[in-house]
A = this chain, B = another copy of it.
Amino acid sequence: MISPEFEDIRELVDQELGRRLPAADQRPCSLHGAMRYSVFAGGKRLRPALVLLASRICEGDDETALPAACAIELVHTYSLIHDDLPPMDDDDLRRGKPTCHKQYGEAVAILAGDALLTLAFELVAPMPAAARQLAVAAGSLGMIAGQVADMEAEGAIDRCGPEELKKKVEYIHRHKTAALIRAATRMGALAAKAGSAQLAALSRYGECLGLAFQVTDDILDMTGTEKQMGKAVGKDIARGKLVHPLAFGMEESRARAENLIVSAKEALELFLDRAEPLRALADFVLKRNT
């Protein structure tokens, strides 16, 4: 458990997701079943928590921020479903359960991902600034750019020099992971109509937190157990993925994650004590082993 506040938010978000997703017995049942299966597969709800916590410290209300919080979790879930597909990472397990395409078949999994992405934009349609933020962060110059770079970097370790490897891994992390996590804090600030100093501070926090998250994820892929991770470990390395410790060394990767978390917390200074939940969340990202 990260904090009681985080647990409350998780419940709030899960209830709202349950209301916004079509029922599993609504036609087409296979599609709606697959959408719910993946959304309720045990995600930590980190991104929606960031939206709500960012909104709260800018004195926004939950009701306004909640659709944005749900939308970003739907985008995250769609990206996992498509990522796990055979032409991409070809994963059988996600959060300890069969991946969406293993459970529902590839065609339904592709369409369930498409439908979650589309629903996300239905939820944020009434909030133009947040909608634009989400689209840019998730698009071909954001998260998807990172996915492509991640795929194209397979085997890079055998053909690139050390400096090039470092550049590649930083590009991948900034796009694949940090873009969406940064968007989460920004969407929370936008929902709360925060001023530019607050928006900039939360952007910086989100960016550092997102980078730290992926660095620790890469470390855990090399050091964690399958039970801890809910998915096969060591698989990224086995398939030639360019993970952070391969480019920087384990020692430097750990230091990098720690420094990023320090920077993330420093960015929050102007919020004084009100930012404690976001600081606690940053510490959790560094220390988590699940």
**A interface, CB within 8 angstroms of B:** 22, 26-28, 30-32, 35, 78, 82, 85, 87-88, 105-108, 110-111, 113-115, 117-119, 121-122, 125-128, 131-132, 134-136, 138-141, 144-145, 147-149, 151-152
Residue of B nearest to A127 (CB): B128
Q: Are A147 and B111 in contact (CB under 8 A)?
A: yes
Taking a contact as CB atoms closer than 8 A, the residue among B78, B122, B131 that contacts A139 in the complex is: B122
Q: Kindly state the separation between the CA atoms of A106 and B140 in the bound complex, as whole angstroms.
A: 16
Q: Are A138 and B125 in contact (CB under 8 A)?
A: no
Q: How far is the CB of A170 from chain B (nearest CB, A)?
A: 14
21 A-B contacts (beta carbon < 8 Å):
A22-B140, A22-B141, A27-B145, A27-B149, A28-B140, A28-B149, A28-B152, A30-B148, A31-B148, A82-B114, A87-B106, A87-B110, A88-B107, A110-B110, A111-B148, A118-B138, A118-B144, A119-B135, A119-B139, A121-B121, A121-B134
Taking a contact as CB atoms closer than 8 A, the residue among B32, B139, B151, B152 that contacts A115 in the complex is: B139
Residue numbers in B under 8 Å from A148 (CB-CB)? 28, 30-31, 108, 111
Q: How far is the CB of A14 from chain B (nearest CB, A)?
A: 19
Residue numbers in B under 8 Å from A134 (CB-CB)? 121
Q: How far is the CB of A166 from chain B (nearest CB, A)?
A: 17
Q: Kindly state the separation between the CA atoms of A82 and B78 in the bound complex, as whole angstroms.
A: 14
Q: Are A121 and B149 in contact (CB under 8 A)?
A: no
Q: How far is the CB of A192 from chain B (nearest CB, A)?
A: 18
Q: Kindly state the separation between the CA atoms of A122 and B75 in the bound complex, as whole angstroms.
A: 14
Q: Are A151 and B32 in contact (CB under 8 A)?
A: no
Residue of B nearest to A110 (CB): B82
Q: Kindly state the separation between the CA atoms of A85 and B138 in the bound complex, as whole angstroms.
A: 22
Q: Are B119 and A140 in contact (CB under 8 A)?
A: yes
Residue numbers in B under 8 Å from A125 (CB-CB)? 128, 131-132, 135
Residue numbers in B under 8 Å from A145 (CB-CB)? 27-28, 31
Q: Kindly state the separation between the CA atoms of A128 and B136 in the bound complex, as whole angstroms.
A: 16
Q: Kindly state the separation between the CA atoms of A182 and B223 in the bound complex, as whole angstroms.
A: 53
Q: How far is the CB of A142 from chain B (nearest CB, A)?
A: 9
